Amino acid sequence: MPAADLDSFSLLLVYSAMAVYTLAFIAYAVDVARRSAVRSVPAAARELVGAGGPTSATGPDPSAPLAPALPGRGARIGFTLTVLAWVLHLGGALLRGLAAGRVPWANMYEFALTGVAVIVGVFVLSRLWKDLNFLGVFMTGIAVVFLGTATVNYYVAPTPLPPALQTYWLVIHVFVATLATGLMGLGTGLSVLQLIKERRDNGFLRSLPTPVQLEDLAYRVGVIGFIFWTFTLIAGAIWAEHAWGRYWGWDTKEVWTFVIWVIYAGYIHARATRGWRGSRSAWLQIIGFTAIIFNFTIVNQFFTGLHAYSGL
């Protein structure tokens, strides 16, 4: 099949994935709204009633702990749709790679396509060890916004690789960077929910883990992402020596990759040794991921250098 046809089918799958992600977002949002609207009653009173115990004429004690509204059909439908959208998304990325005759992450459109697939994939596969379904609205929303932005603003037809990219380091370096970005995006979603939960704890929010549990999860995911980002930095230096004869040249992209590494290193160090817990820890994680987005968008488009591979 001609490369142009493969790329057309790739775009069709990407648009289909965006549509299904949108449906998943709606399903998750409906579930959140349902749980937010449920008038929770004290857990102790609910247990007494369920056991046939007496009820008070004056109603439940308002100071008693409230029972959370549990995830319903909307969350289950949302997760099923997310998996379906992810499969379509992976198919689009695979066809793009076949159309280009290489791995699908050599320009901004392809990196966004693959990067979002990794972010959603980390969320989907996390179900094997931890139910993070409460992040469904955040993750599907990110998928729709990022894919929409990439297809509208960054799409380019498949083109041959520049000489500097014609190496196996493209597979290693960029894929590990994409995996690190996916993990850090998941950690950022947890940190955002942590900040929201610290300020409000009613309705849907009551069904989430505690702020401390969210912070611990975000930290663990952030540490794993940091390890992959460290490898990205090292692999990039080795690749630079092969391509340009030096390990480090203060290129804009190199500098920002290092800046991101410093932010996350500071986040991990401050939390582990300086006792930076709570909102300060969450904000550091969010700042780190914001730097990643800045590196991908602003640096790629508006800064010149040896890493100018946007394809635009």
Query: Is residue 283 domain-resident?
Result: yes
Range among 53-62, 95-104, 165-174, 234-243 with highest mean pLDDT value: 95-104
Query: Is residue 32 domain-resident?
Result: no
Report helix, strand and coil shares of the chain as percent, to nearest 5. 75, 0, 25
Report helix angle 169-199 to 279-294, nearest 10. 140
More confident residue, 25 or 160: 25
Residues 209-263: pLDDT tens digits?
889 999 999 999 999 999 999 999 999 888 888 877 888 888 888 889 999 999 9
In this prediction, residue 45 has a pLDDT band, given cuts at 50, 70 and 90, of: very low
Query: Is residue 156 domain-resident?
Result: no
Q: Which residue has the tokens 């609910």?
A: 46
Task: State the average pLDDT over residues 155-183.
Answer: 84
Query: Is residue 250 domain-resident?
Result: yes
Share of the chain above pLDDT 90, in %: 42
Query: Is residue 112 domain-resident?
Result: no
- What residues make up the domain containing 291? 161-312
Number of domains in the chain: 1
Examine the pLDDT at 207 and tell me if it is beyond 60.
yes
Sign of the dihedral through C-alpha 153, 161, 18, 5: positive
